[in-house]
Structure 1
Amino acid sequence: MSQLLPIVGPDSPEATTSIITIQKVKVKDQHLTCEFTEQRTQEAPARAFALTCTEQVHPDLTHALSRLVPHLCLLTEQLTETPDFWPDESEELPALFGSFTVTGFSVVRNQGGVTLIGQRELSGGRVLNLTTPYQSFDDEQASYSYTGLLETTLTTALAEVEAALRGKCTEYRQLDLFEQPATTSVLLVPTPSPA
């Protein structure tokens, strides 16, 4: 599922294409950490990278990860499916998912399967870390009924991670700690010349 993409970093006219394969993704405190390989061409050897972005992730990436929450809940047997379990793409998640978060995932075997990583906030404020069993997309004997939907949702999340690697992030500007005067004036004081 590798795609030809510009080299990691902002798009530019002189950028050559490369093949990026994402292996592991984690979002913590709105910052992306990603392990991936990059090849300049199909014949070139893959180079492995681990990158932590200093910019905050774009809301599109956060939204894409939130779409994985129902799969996390089913695969870890935290919730059972209800009639309103699967929201539309534009809808917010139903309230029953309020205490769950997908914080990342691992993709293995040439993106032929995934392991989701997430958390559930318990009533006492403590956090339960959750990791799903590996879910293959090619397994004909799959016990998970929504493998196709999981793969489609993961593809969207991977596209957002790839966009983040190319520079898509939240646009923000940090305010100055101290207010600067609007104009500065310089007072020139004449110095007496030696007589």
Structure 2
Amino acid sequence: MSQLLPIVGPDSPEATTSLITIQKVKLKDQHLTCEFTEQRTDEAPPRAFALTCTDQVHPDLTHALSRLVPHLCLLAEQLTETSDFWPDEAEELPALFEPFTVTGFSVGRHQGGVTLIGQRQLTGGKVLNLTSPYQSFDDEQATYPYTGLLETTLQAALAEVEAALRGKGTEYRQLDLFEQPATTSALLVPTPPRA
């Protein structure tokens, strides 16, 4: 469980906090859909919510989800690991990951594991939906060698989802519905009709 503040950002007040546990995350057309529980205090019972944000997500959230792509590829056995498989945090994903996207994830009870959900764009233009097997973070007999890295990457994605739930989104400006008439005048020159 993570604590959320009422306002996102470095100047957020330490006023009222709530405990939130994210269960499912889905990103479609740059809009976040999330299932989570919230507790106002430690003693209060959790309340369940399903929320779809109408604002477009911040690029930090899409970047955090893109960091899960190598894990999806390995867990779903779509690619094999190569020497340049793991990109640095700041750099873009290598070209071999271009057909893949992570569109969401499901977190296990007490954030003890995760199931990644994504897509692969096939060469014929069709989309293959991918779901990784559930990967436990506490499994001592883990067959996935990058469980610790997956957990760290997931925590970064969860932090961005929490920020999005508190209002972090893309900066955009609403355009006017109707154009305002121009104040400049135009000189009209009559032309004779042609037959």
| TM-score, scaled to structure 1 | 0.88
How far does the alpha carbon of each residue in 1:125-179 deviate from its partner, in whole angstroms, 9 at most, with x for none?
A: 1000000000000000000000000000000000000000010000101322432
What is the CA deviation profile of residues 58-88 of structure 1, one whole-angstrom value per residue up to 9, with x for unaligned ones? 0000000000000000000000000000000
TM-score normalised to structure 2 length: 0.88
Q: Does 1:106 align with 2:106?
A: yes
State the partner residue of 1:161.
Answer: 161
Which structure 2 segments of 5+ residues have no match?
184-195
Deviation at 1:180, TM superposition (A): 1.1
| Cα RMSD (Å) | 1.6
- Give structure 1 stretches of 5+ with no counterpart: 184-195
User: Which moves more between the two structures, 174-183 or 108-117?
Assistant: 174-183
Number of residue pairs the alignment of both structures matches: 181
Instruction: Give the AA of the match of 2:2.
Output: Q
After superposition, give the CA deviation of every residue in 1:17-73 in whole Å (9 maximum; x if it has no partner): 110000000000000000000001111000000000000000000000000000000
Corresponding residue for residue 67 of structure 1: 67
Give the equivalent residue in structure 1 for 2:146: 146
Distance 2:19 2:182 in 1: 48
SS for the counterpart of 2:110 is: coil
Contact between 2:34 and 2:52, CA under 8 Å: does it hold in 1? yes
**Counterpart amino acid of residue 115 in structure 1:** T
Q: Secondary structure at the match of 1:115?
A: strand
Q: Counterparts of 2:89 and 2:8 in 1: how far apart (Å)?
A: 27
